[in-house]
Structure 1
Amino acid sequence: MSRNMEHQFSMLVREIRKEFVGNGPKEISTRFIGSWAVSEMRGNLTNIEKFMMNSIDGEKMVHEARTEFVKKIYNDKGVRQRFEELMGAHIVRIFSDIDIEADIAMTVFVFDKPLQSKE
């Protein structure tokens, strides 16, 4: 799979995050490994989330909210369709988590076949 496709995939992740969260990650990189697309995102948290993390339960709330909200985003049929059309493969599973202290999120998209160039 070409670097260009990895870049296009990263830009789609950023676009969807901006659309649903209001801002996208500051840095994003995606790598294709077999049938997996692994996206690493840095600089995800909003100023409000950073402020919330100063409270006693804030870190837990931000982590839970981010994790559950991202799962809901990727369960949207229209969102999945955009990824599937780009890759020419169907999504089987999506795993996502965020380390809020480091402000790094990882999402692993598992497709139904190895990702290959669409040339």
Structure 2
Amino acid sequence: MPNTQKKKLEADISEALIKYQRELIGRGPQEAKTYIMRDMVITRFKGVLTIEEKHLVNRDDGRKLVKHMRQLLREMYSEKYEEIIEGLSGCKVLSSHSDISTKTGERIEVFIMDKDLERTLEQ
């Protein structure tokens, strides 16, 4: 039987992160899917590049610029991302990691939690 509590939390996290990105950048990803796996929360975003970024990534120096800019923004707002996850999950985030693919326009966020969130939700 599927764990509805887990599915709801995954959907809530995706929704909250999209909302925050829309406030931050003025637009959000086209699609987001969150997976809770043991002590990790992983969110995959599709369609994250702006129209300007899509033009830039066609050039080698532009790809580096977009990647660097996105990494800087993520570092600036990492505490807020972690607050969102902690607020929804009730767990502490030990560390978080992010990367963007300028090839596919996807970004991934990985949050390492202080406990096995998946097991907690199953109880």
TM range (shorter): 0.7 to 0.9
Quote the offset at 1:73 in angstroms. Answer: 1.3
Partner of 1:114: 116
The answer on 1:84 being equivalent to 2:68 is no
* In structure 2, distance between residues paired with 1:102 and 1:69: 19
Quote the offset at 1:33 in angstroms. Answer: 0.8
Partner of 1:53: 57
* In structure 2, distance between residues paired with 1:104 and 1:54: 16
Q: Alignment partner of 1:38: what SS? A: strand
Give yes or no for contact 2:10–2:34 (8 Å, CA) kept in 1.
yes
Structure with greater helix share of residues: 2
* In structure 1, distance between residues paired with 2:15 and 2:43: 11
After superposition, residues 1-119 of structure 1 pair within 5 angstroms as: 2-76=6-80, 79-115=81-117, 116-117=120-121
Quote the offset at 1:56 in angstroms. Answer: 4.4
Give yes or no for contact 1:71–1:96 (8 Å, CA) kept in 2.
no
Give yes or no for contact 1:20–1:73 (8 Å, CA) kept in 2.
no
Q: Which sections of structure 1, spanning at least 5 residues, go unmatched?
A: none
* In structure 1, distance between residues paired with 2:23 and 2:122: 26
One-letter amino acid of the counterpart of residue 50, structure 1: K
Q: How many residues align?
A: 117
Q: Alignment partner of 1:2: what SS? A: helix
Provide, for residues 1-60 of structure 1, a one-character-per-residue CA deviation record: whole Å limited to 9, x for no partner.
521110001111111111112111101111001110001111000011112223441111
TM-score (normalised: structure 1): 0.88
Q: Which sections of structure 2, spanning at least 5 residues, go unmatched?
A: none
Q: CA RMSD in A?
A: 1.9
